[in-house]
Structures are given as structure tokens and as C-alpha cells.
Amino acid sequence: MTKNELEKYKTVLEAKRVELSYALRNREDIAIEKTPDALDEVQLAGERELAIRNLDRESNLLRQVRAALARIADGSYGVCMHCEEDISPKRLNAVPQTAFCIKCQEAVDRNEIESPETLDALLANAA
């Protein structure tokens, strides 16, 4: 991968990181909102649950984006963390934070191989 390409992905990932950090801060506000009204309480509980699900998804994504930026810094970006093949530019353009080539990602999705990010998320949820 050329330096220019790397810079391009870095810019995209930095923007994602800022956006996600901002979104996560706002979600936390929603998640702790309280009301004395019982009816609102039920509705808010539903909204809280949704907010927490989004929070989970976004914090996982943020973790992946941070890990991708770390891989750019250490020079391992764009290489599949499982099979060590180059990840196709098409895939990196679509999912710049990915740590896997398409074949390995499919295996991760089927739980055939363990994703470090999945493992992280499991550990974070267990804590």
C-alpha cells in the first residue's frame, strides 16, 4: 500500500473516530435520563434499551476504528490479521476499520475463527 493510500484511510478512520466518540457521548446522556412519570418511565426504558444497544454497537465499532488506526501506526494496516493476505482495496474502501480479508471475515461471522474484536467485546461485557 502506498503512503498516499494509507493517509487516505487514516483520514477516513480519524473522521469515524471523532464521529463515534461524539455519538457515544450523546448516547450516554440518553441512557441515564430519568423521569418521575410512570408511563414515561416505560417508554424511556424502551428508549434506554435501544440507546444501550446502539451504544454497544457503536463502542464496538469505535474499538475497531481505534485498532485500525493503531495498525496504520505500526505498519500492519491492510493485511488480514488471520491469514496475513492483503485485504482488497475495495473492501478497505467499504469497511476501512476491518481487520480481516473477506474470506476470513466470513469465517469470523460464522464463528469459525475468533475475532480479536469479538473477544474484546466479550471481555468488556463480562466485566
Least distance from C-beta 95 to Zn ion, angstroms?
Answer: 13
Q: Which is nearer to Zn ion, 69 or 80 (CB)?
A: 80
Helix (H, G, I), strand (E, B) or coil at 85: coil
Q: How far is the CB of 79 from Zn ion (least distance, A)?
A: 9
- Which parts of the chain are beta strand (E)? none
DSSP-derived secondary structure for 97-118: T--S-HHHHHHHHTTSS--HHH
Size of the site for Zn ion (CB under 5 A): 5
**Residues 13 and 69 sit within 8 Å (Cβ to Cβ):** yes
Q: How far is the CB of 43 from Zn ion (least distance, A)?
A: 45
- When binding is defined by CB under 5 A, the residue of 68, 101, 108, 115 that contacts Zn ion is 101
Q: Give whichever of 14 and 86 is closer to Zn ion, judged by the CB atom.
A: 86
Grid coordinates belonging to 43: 417508554
Q: Does 104 help bind Zn ion (rule: CB under 5 A)?
A: yes
State in angstroms the smallest separation of the CB of 109 from Zn ion. Answer: 13
Please check whether residue 91 is in contact with residue 98, taking contact to mean a CB–CB distance below 8 angstroms: yes
- Per-residue binding string, Zn ion, 60-99, x by CB under 5 A, is --------------------x-xx----------------
**Residue tagged 493517509 (cell numbers):** 7
- The reply to whether 16 sits near Zn ion by the rule CB under 5 A is no
Nearest CA to 72 out of 94, 98, 90 is that of 98
Binding residues vs Zn ion (CB under 5 A):
80, 82-83, 101, 104
